[in-house]
Amino acid sequence: MRHYLSRLRSRGELLSVKREVDPRYEIAAVARRLQQETTKPVLFENVRGSRLPVLMNLYTDHQRLCEIIRCEPNETFCARLDREISLATTLEAPTERAAPPTDWITGKLSDLPIPTYHARDGAPYITAGVFLAKDPNTGRTNLSFHRSMVISDDELRIRLGSTHDLARFQQQAEARGEPLEAAILIGADPEIFMSACVSLPPDGDELALAAAMRGGPIAMRPARTIDLDVPVSAEIVIEGRILPNVRRPEGPFGEFMGYYVEVGENHVFEVTHVGWREGAVFQGLICGSHEDLRPLEAATAARIYKAISGQVRGVLDVSCRPTVMNTVIKLDKQYEGHAQHALLAALGSHLDYNKLVIVVDKDVDIYNMEDVIWAFLTRGRADTRTMVLHDVPGFYRDPHKDHWGRLAIDATRPWGREAEFERKTIPGTEQVVLEDYLPHFSARAAT
């Protein structure tokens, strides 16, 4: 993480706030306003009540995500991640044992600058922490994200989604009457953070995927109080165990869809050790913001891309902007009905999401929803190119069926009439440098 921040700083891509800020709402408010102006991350260097700075907005930019997984020029995120996942299965030694850091500091949860994000949040929350745990039966390592409500120095309350591997691990341990040991990594390596966003098959290993992204093994060292190895380079590590047969109130919390999740009975994480490296940075994240959605969207899109391209030829790229609930497919259309085949493949590719699926031609920017909607509105009829699927279950946590049903849209040009829908262009537009004509012009100031 600190090496990556140094690289961003050297390129002028890291903002710094030196004035004192309050971890209760103020950090989140400034980070949110910055997201409306820039994709640059921001480091709050002086946080009230803590010696540690807070990093926000690190993963707001799609191009930085491509950089993290080492995309080649003209290579899409989806295609690259698909290659990395395949490579990860071939690695014989994705991790290596290393000595613990010599600058390790032991402290407590209350030493950390944990933000309170939303007006009705029940407490400060750890939102960017990567959970590391092992399958009790196989020993396979898993990385995942789960919101963590701070109760005291000794207790967190966490939400385990029913479809997550960690929930299955916990159920296996609980069936034996045993706690499940886990570590929460805050300020993890970017490759580890990205790997935790990816949903691998049950026999997949996210640490191997992180090693594939990096191009080398991940250095690991023994945890202090639990039987796990943790990454040497993690800025902050919270060790503990998820207690069996214990549920306590957690919430409210402002979740990723933009609404509050009310108080529910959720799992208890007993903290056994908190420590950090000298000069550590605490990473925060506003759930549902660009920083939260961009990595999740990219990882979800890659999963859908793999599923669709295995069935339908001509799939060039997939995006999930502006949320993981929708999918946009870029297609090199080759026959009448091609778009419908892609839509059908996409609808079955991710049963939790894909509430809305749109297929567009290869000349449409699938990362720009204005361009996507323009294609739908200008390239044919709205009534005959829209398919509604009623009463299809959606997002797994949906007791009121609010996310049931699917909408599929063909926004491609009519087959055989491509010449009629050729986009107009102005030669030389992409080569224009506005500062050559307006010396004091600033794109940022103009907005």
User: What pLDDT score does 77 carry?
Assistant: 93
33: left (phi over 0), alpha (psi -120 to 50) or beta: alpha
User: Is 167 in the same domain as 71?
Assistant: yes
Tell me if 428 is assigned to some domain: no
Range of the domain at 373: 310-412
Tell me if 74 is assigned to some domain: yes
Hunting for tokens 């891509």 — which residue is that?
A: 13
User: Is 256 in the same domain as 337?
Assistant: no
User: Is 161 in the same domain as 191?
Assistant: yes
User: Is 342 in the same domain as 276?
Assistant: no
Strands 218-222 and 229-231: what pairing? antiparallel
Instruction: Check: CB of residue 170 under 8 Å from CB of residue 134.
Output: no
The reply to whether omega before 190 is within 30° of 0 (cis) is no
Tell me if 295 is assigned to some domain: no
Tell me if 48 is assigned to some domain: yes
User: Is 6 in the same domain as 126?
Assistant: yes
User: Is 261 in the same domain as 387?
Assistant: no
User: Is 276 in the same domain as 315?
Assistant: no
- Among the three residues 255, 290, 325, which one is the final residue of a domain in this structure? 290
**Residue closest to 42 by CA, chosen among 284, 343, 307, 323:** 284
Strands 42-44 and 15-17: what pairing? parallel
User: Is 98 in the same domain as 195?
Assistant: yes
**CA–CA dist 234, 402 (Å, integer):** 39
Q: What is the pLDDT along the chain (447 residues), one digit of tens a residue?
A: 999 999 999 999 999 999 999 999 999 999 999 999 999 999 999 999 999 999 999 999 999 999 999 999 889 999 999 999 999 989 888 999 998 888 999 999 999 999 999 999 999 999 999 999 999 988 889 999 999 999 999 999 999 987 788 999 999 999 999 999 999 999 999 999 999 999 888 788 899 999 999 999 999 999 999 999 999 999 999 999 999 999 999 999 998 878 899 999 999 999 999 999 999 999 999 998 888 989 989 999 999 999 999 999 999 999 998 888 889 999 999 999 999 999 999 988 887 778 899 999 999 999 999 999 999 999 988 888 898 888 777 776 677 777 788 899 999 999 988 888 989 889 999 899 888 888 877 655 444
User: What pLDDT score does 397 carry?
Assistant: 67
Tell me if 424 is assigned to some domain: no
- Among the three residues 262, 290, 318, which one is the final residue of a domain in this structure? 290
| Predicted model pTM | 0.89
User: Is 316 in the same domain as 278?
Assistant: no
Tell me if 433 is assigned to some domain: no
User: What pLDDT score does 396 carry?
Assistant: 65
The structural domain count of the chain equals 2
Tell me if 137 is assigned to some domain: yes
User: Is 52 in the same domain as 166?
Assistant: yes
Tell me if 423 is assigned to some domain: no
Domain at 393, CATH number: 3.40.1670.10
Phi, psi for 395 (deg, rounded to 5): -55, 135
**CA–CA dist 66, 301 (Å, integer):** 13
- Among the three residues 261, 290, 319, which one is the final residue of a domain in this structure? 290
User: Is 241 in the same domain as 377?
Assistant: no
Domain at 134, CATH number: 2.30.110.10
User: Is 214 in the same domain as 91?
Assistant: yes
